[in-house]
Amino acid sequence: MLISRRELLKTTALGTTSLALTPSFNHLQAAPGNTTGGVPHRFVFIRKSNGNLTTQFGLPSFSSEELKKHEEKQPFELDLAKHELPDWLKALDGNKDNMTILHGISMAVSGGGHYSYSGCMGAYKAGRDILSNIKWATVDFELAKLFPSPFGHVEMSLAVPHGRDHRTGIVSGYSAPAARQRNYCYADPMTAYQELFKSVINTNEAASDDALLDYLREQESHRLKGLDGDERLKISDQIDSLQAIRDRNTKVASLGDKIKQHLPEIDPVHAGGGEDATLPQKQAAFTDIIVAALASGLTNVVTYTIDDLGTDITSLPENQQKTSIHQIGHGGQIAGAAKMRDAIKTHHVKQVTTLVTKLKAIPEGNGTMFDNTSIIYMPETGAGHHGPDTEAPMVLLTGKNSKLDIAGRYIRLPFHGTEGHKTLSNWYTTLLNAYGNPIEHYGDLDLTMQRNRMEQTGAIQQFVV
C-alpha cells in the first residue's frame, strides 16, 4: 500500500490504516540499555531474499578436514585472519577482525519458502503478510526500545511484492512494533531522504507537519467527550501517539546542526521515486542515508530489505540474461545461476563495506562510530530459494565495543535437531540479553527440537561477553 506522508498522519490518527505509525514511538518512554560511555549501540539488519546457499559460505582455504566438517555440518570454529574469503566477500577482506561468518542457526521457527514477511525478524511463522500472523514486536523494535532515539526504529525496503513493478513513497513494511501491528517503511531513497532529514532540508514542510499534528490532536481530543470504555481508550491512545510524534519532531529539530553535518548527497536520478535509477544506485543511496541517519542520532536501529524475489535486478551489469531473482532461485531454469547468486551478494557486500568504512571514519568517544555498531547480513528464508530452513548462513560485522564474543571467527554451530543446536529464537535472545533485555527466551520454540526433547531456550552463552 502506497500512501503519502500527510495522508499517513491523517489516516493513522483516525485509526483507518493498519500501518503502525503511532506504536513506532512507544520506545520514547523506554529506558536505555547498556551504553559505552553514554554512547548507544547501533544495529543494522540487512535482509536478503532467495536464501544463502551453504556451499557459497565455505572458505576456499579450508583444509580437507575442515571441508569435511563443513560438508557434513559438524560444529567447528576457525580464525578468519588465517583464511581466504570467498570472492563475493573479498571487499570485506580488510575487516576480518570485525567479521563473523555464522553457520548453523536455523530458521524453522519462522519458516522457509519464498517469503517470511515479519517472521524472520520476529522468530515466528508469519505466513502471508496478514496482521493476525504478527505475534509480537520484532527483534529490531525490541532493540530500539533499549537505545531510544527520535525516530526509534527506521525501516527501508527495496522489496517489490508480486504483481508490481515498482514501489515508491511510504509503504507497508515487514518489521512490527507490537502484535498485529505492521510497521511502515521507505520504499525509495528520495522519500527516505526527504522524510528523515526534512527538518533541515525543508523547514516549511516540517512546520506544516507540526501544525497538522497539532490540529489532529485537537480534533481527537474533542472526540473524547462523551466516550467511555474501549472507544475512549482507543482515542486516548491516538492522542498520546500524536503527541509522541510531535515530541519526536521537537527532538529532531534539536539535532539540526548534527543532521546538517552528516546530510548525504542524493543523486537527482532518485527524484520522483527514482524509476530511472539502477538497483546499484538505489542501494548506494540507501547506504548513504543509513549512515547519515545513524551519525546524526535520528535512529540507532535500521532494518533494510536490500532485495526480495520481486526486486528488479536487470540493471546489474552481470545480469546479461536479464533474468530475475526468482528464476535464479530455481537454478536449473537458467545458466550460471550460482554465479548470479554470487554477483547479487557481491553488490550487497559492497554496500556493507561502505557502511563499515564510513562508520569507521566518524569519530566517537575514544574511537569511531563503528566501534558501537553491529551489522547483520542475513537471509530472509534460510539456505535456499524454498529453504531448507534448517540453517541460515549469516555475515556479521561488529565493532570493538560489541557485547558479543564472536568477531574474527568462522563459526559453525551444531546442526538442526542435534544436541546443542541454536535457533533463530536463541540468536535473538542472545542479542537482547547482551544489550540489556533479560528476557528468558524470545521467539517461538522449534518443533523438531521439542519432539527430540532437546534444550532450546535462552541465549547462546558462548557468544555473550
The pLDDT, as a whole number, for residue 23 is 40
Confidence of residue 438 (pLDDT cuts 50, 70, 90): very high
For 398-425, the pLDDT digits (tens) are 999 999 999 999 999 999 999 999 999 9
Mean pLDDT of 198-208: 71
Using CA atoms, how far apart are residues 129 and 115, in angstroms rounded to an integer? 9
The pLDDT, as a whole number, for residue 351 is 98
For 212-259, the pLDDT digits (tens) are 545 555 655 656 666 566 555 554 555 565 566 667 777 777 788 988
Using CA atoms, how far apart are residues 17 and 10, in angstroms rounded to an integer? 9
- DSSP E strands: which ranges in 198-315? 301-305
pLDDT at 18 over 60: no
| 191 close to 168: Cβ distance less than 8 angstroms | yes
CB neighbour class for 360 (10 Å; exposed up to 12, middle 13-18, buried from 19)? middle
For 38-77, the pLDDT digits (tens) are 899 999 999 999 999 999 999 999 999 999 999 999 999 9
| 144 close to 301: Cβ distance less than 8 angstroms | yes
Tell me the sheet residues that pair with 377: 46, 395
The pLDDT, as a whole number, for residue 16 is 44
The pLDDT, as a whole number, for residue 27 is 39
Residue 124, C-alpha cell as written in the block: 515466528
Using CA atoms, how far apart are residues 308 and 186, in angstroms rounded to an integer? 15
| 259 close to 200: Cβ distance less than 8 angstroms | yes
One-letter amino acid for residue 103 of the chain: H
For 137-181, the pLDDT digits (tens) are 999 999 999 999 999 999 999 998 765 667 899 888 999 999 999
Which of 249-263, 352-366, 392-406 shows the lowest per-residue confidence on average (mean pLDDT)? 249-263
Q: Which whole-number Å values give the CA distances from 287 to 82, 224, 368, in the listed order?
A: 30, 43, 18
| 40 close to 32: Cβ distance less than 8 angstroms | yes
The pLDDT, as a whole number, for residue 22 is 43
| 242 close to 213: Cβ distance less than 8 angstroms | yes
Strands of 301-305's sheet in order across:
76-79, 409-412, 99-103, 394-398, 373-379, 42-48, 301-305, 153-157, 184-186, 170-172
| 314 close to 278: Cβ distance less than 8 angstroms | no
**DSSP letters spanning 292-315:** HHHHTTS-SEEEEE---TTS--TT
Query: Which one, of 352, 396, 401, lies nearest residue 378 by Cα?
Result: 396
pLDDT at 209 over 90: no
Residue 100, C-alpha cell as written in the block: 563473523
| 106 close to 420: Cβ distance less than 8 angstroms | no
CB neighbour class for 183 (10 Å; exposed up to 12, middle 13-18, buried from 19)? buried
- Residue with more model confidence, 333 or 370: 370
The pLDDT, as a whole number, for residue 6 is 56
Query: Which one, of 195, 193, 187, lies nearest residue 263 by Cα?
Result: 193
Mean pLDDT of 360-366: 96
The pLDDT, as a whole number, for residue 465 is 83
Domain boundaries, the chain: 5-463
Residue 455, C-alpha cell as written in the block: 534444550
55-61 contacts, C-beta under 8 A, 24 or more apart: 56/86, 56/88, 56/338, 56/341, 56/342, 56/345, 57/86, 57/101, 57/103, 57/393, 58/86, 59/83, 59/84, 59/85, 59/86, 59/101, 59/410, 60/84, 60/85, 60/86
